[in-house]
Structure 1
Amino acid sequence: MRRWTIFASIAIVGLVADQLTKLYIDRSMQMFQSIPVIDGLFNITYVRNKGAAFSFLSQASWRLPFFIAISAVAAVVIVIAFNRLRNDQRLAQVSLAMIFSGAVGNLIDRVRRGEVVDFLDVYWRAYHWPAFNVADSLICVGVALLALDMLREEQRQKQAKS
């Protein structure tokens, strides 16, 4: 039961942070408005993305039902995977909660708006990384932590065999 409390806590905090930041950006900025935060490195820039990462499939007519379905399936698969974790797999539990939160955050945008609100603009000189949001950050950090946990789990299994 404790691990589901951890999952729910992380997922809710992540989801609330994602949705509140998107709401704030949507209500306080004009589309394409940019506010420098760290000159030459980071801006808050309001954009919307109809596709996935790097605007992938943004022009496809079937993109919205596709992304909604993928996000919903991903959320279910994450819950199933989480349920199969051992109690001692804390890092995996945290990472799956983060990934779940991010997937649901972007799913909410797609259902409500038909597109995702992005605003974190990281760049170096004229080279901009595609804008992203808190949900995207949760997914990326969650995936990195999950990869780390998988490496640690592999080491644990090797040590147990020897």
Structure 2
Amino acid sequence: MFKNTGWSWLWVSGLVVIADQITKYLASSHLELYVPHKITGFFNLTLMHNEGVAFSILADQSGWQRYFIAVVASLIVIWLLYWLKQNRKHMTLQNVALVMVIGGALGNIWDRIVLGYVVDFIELHYKSYYWPAFNIADSAITLGAVLLIIDAFKNKDESSAG
């Protein structure tokens, strides 16, 4: 029924969620909250709990953001699933982009609902300049967004040729 649609790629979302949850579990089990573990001169593993959205926006709120963010993210996942279902299976780049975003969003939604915060642990920095901590789900969302932009440019001529 869905084998010729973009839904045939949903297994990638499953892999993203599994990798995300395993790495968050390992980080939570082996790292102390807010204590950096230097890996290289620009990369630390540092366990953090993000109660907000990107860059900890809304983290200082009273708790309403937990459910609001989960609902908004869930609505976005539903929209992306609809989009993916409309796609043909051979639309590889766009389908992979969508399932990466879906998997990443689901990983972070799970944290938000179950824990009340998102587990972050990857920390990049240059000297005293630190990029906000992130996780595998965030990486998948970012990669998916970049692939969607590439797909839009790559297929721009094809869509305007008709």
Report the secondary structure of 1:38's partner residue.
Answer: coil
Mapped partners of 2:82, 2:121: distance in 1: 31
Report the secondary structure of 2:100's partner residue.
Answer: helix
Mapped partners of 2:120, 2:143: distance in 1: 17
Report the secondary structure of 1:136's partner residue.
Answer: helix
Mapped partners of 2:80, 2:7: distance in 1: 13
Q: In structure 2, give the amino acid aligned to 1:115.
A: Y
Mapped partners of 2:153, 2:88: distance in 1: 16
Mapped partners of 2:97, 2:149: distance in 1: 9
**After superposition, where does 1:1-162 map in structure 2 within 5 Å?**
1=3, 3-7=6-10, 9-39=11-41, 41-61=42-62, 62-158=64-160, 160-161=161-162
TM-score, with length taken from structure 1:
0.93
Report the secondary structure of 2:74's partner residue.
Answer: helix
- CA shift, 1:56, in A, is 0.4
- CA shift, 1:33, in A, is 1.9
Q: In structure 2, give the amino acid aligned to 1:125.
A: K
Mapped partners of 2:85, 2:108: distance in 1: 23
The gaps in structure 1 that reach 5 residues or longer are: none
Identity of aligned residues (%): 31
- CA shift, 1:122, in A, is 0.6
Q: In structure 1, give the amino acid aligned to 2:92.
A: R
Report the secondary structure of 2:37's partner residue.
Answer: strand
Q: In structure 1, give the amino acid aligned to 2:13.
A: A
The gaps in structure 2 that reach 5 residues or longer are: none
Q: Give the CA RMSD over aligned residues.
A: 1.2
- CA shift, 1:71, in A, is 1.4
Runs of at least 4 residues of structure 1 off by over 3 A?
Answer: none
Aligned length, in residue pairs = 158
